[in-house]
Amino acid sequence: MFFLSYFGGNHVRSTTSYYGGAGINADLKTFHNQQVYAATIVVGLTAQNTYGVQDQYAIPTSFISEQFKSIANDLNIKAAKTGALLDAKRVHIVAKEWQQYELGKLVIDPVMVAKGGAHLLSDEAILTMINELIPQAYLITPNLPEAQVLVNQTIKTDNDVQQAAKKIQKMGVRNVLIKGGHRSNSENNYADYILYEDGSFKWFVMPGVDTNRTHGTGDTLSAFITANLAKGYDLKMIMPQAKKFTYEAIRQTINVGHGHGPLNHWVEITMERD
């Protein structure tokens, strides 16, 4: 799924999940926290909770196109993000519609597999994403397993991460953020790596929080970035605050559900204030 947000002329988008922790819900909560107006284009629905994804339902492509038209004919969109796009047909329609309209900066969160193991992007959709969507994007934010699939290589060392980011950038996306939530180091730190469009790069390192309440961490990080791109902030300024927001949303835990719980989207980290 996939959706949009809007702030006095700005827009964002993402995925859906209906118990409230990941996908569209994590995105909407983050956009609201960051004070951007959020609107959505829903590409698919999931039945899920903190135990996992129980079912999913793909929205007909004609209806996805109709949603694009409704949004583009009315709102002044400045940035948008994708979430789970499910299959090749849906990646194709999103890429095609994106090309038609002026919708600002596109952030791709290439959601492939949910924490519980459910596949939210088919194998054949990955090629469509590489060929049709990635070349249109301002930023892509794969986690380590997703980066491995995109480059078709195992990623173990810091050097592997850097090489993978270069390879993904060559696919046509301007900036590449490889999230490190699936690989803590010997000091229990999680390191995210970003390769910027000017060729410079940076590692963002934060201590690991010992918790299983990490449902929607990637959605939250990419939604924070998208919201602040919509507000006009520079990506290099946004990154440290995005990492801090996600870290605090994990650390200041809330007790919801019995499995992989959601983050705390009430934390107060903004671009203006720590």
Ligand X SMILES: Nc1ncnc2c1ncn2[C@@H]1O[C@H](COP(=O)(O)OP(=O)(O)OP(=O)(O)O)[C@@H](O)[C@H]1O
Ligand Y SMILES: Cc1ncc(COP(=O)(O)O)c(N)n1
Judged by the rule CB under 6 A, the positions of this chain that interact with ligand X are 22, 115, 143, 179-182, 190, 192, 206, 208-209, 214-219, 221, 243, 246-247, 250
| 179 binds, options ligand Y, ligand X, none, Cβ within 5 to 8 A by partner type | ligand X
For the CB of residue 112, give the shortest distance to ligand Y in the complex, in Å. Answer: 9
C-alpha 89/C-alpha 86 separation (Å) is 9
| 17 binds, options ligand X, ligand Y, none, Cβ within 5 to 8 A by partner type | ligand Y
Residues whose CB is less than 8 angstroms from the CB of residue 91 and which lie 6 or more positions away in sequence, other chains included: 85, 121, 125, 128, 129, 132, 133
| 183 binds, options ligand Y, ligand X, none, Cβ within 5 to 8 A by partner type | none
C-alpha 144/C-alpha 98 separation (Å) is 26
C-alpha 40/C-alpha 119 separation (Å) is 22
| 246 binds, options ligand X, ligand Y, none, Cβ within 5 to 8 A by partner type | ligand X
For the CB of residue 171, give the shortest distance to ligand Y in the complex, in Å. Answer: 22
| 16 binds, options ligand Y, ligand X, none, Cβ within 5 to 8 A by partner type | ligand Y
Is 1 or 250 the residue whose CB approaches ligand Y more closely? 1
Is 9 or 116 the residue whose CB approaches ligand X more closely? 116
Residues 206-243 as b/e (b if ≥16 CB within 10 A, e otherwise) read bebbeeebbbbbbbbbbbbbbbbbbbeeebeebbebbb
For the CB of residue 62, give the shortest distance to ligand X in the complex, in Å. Answer: 29
C-alpha 22/C-alpha 265 separation (Å) is 11
Is 20 or 104 the residue whose CB approaches ligand Y more closely? 20
Is 83 or 142 the residue whose CB approaches ligand Y more closely? 83
Is 179 or 265 the residue whose CB approaches ligand X more closely? 179
Is 64 or 72 the residue whose CB approaches ligand Y more closely? 64
Binding site for ligand Y (CB under 6 A): 1, 15-17, 22-23, 46, 83-84, 111, 114-115, 120, 215-216, 219
The gap from C-alpha 133 to its chain's centroid, in whole angstroms, comes to 14
| 147 binds, options ligand X, ligand Y, none, Cβ within 5 to 8 A by partner type | none
For the CB of residue 71, give the shortest distance to ligand X in the complex, in Å. Answer: 24
For the CB of residue 63, give the shortest distance to ligand X in the complex, in Å. Answer: 25
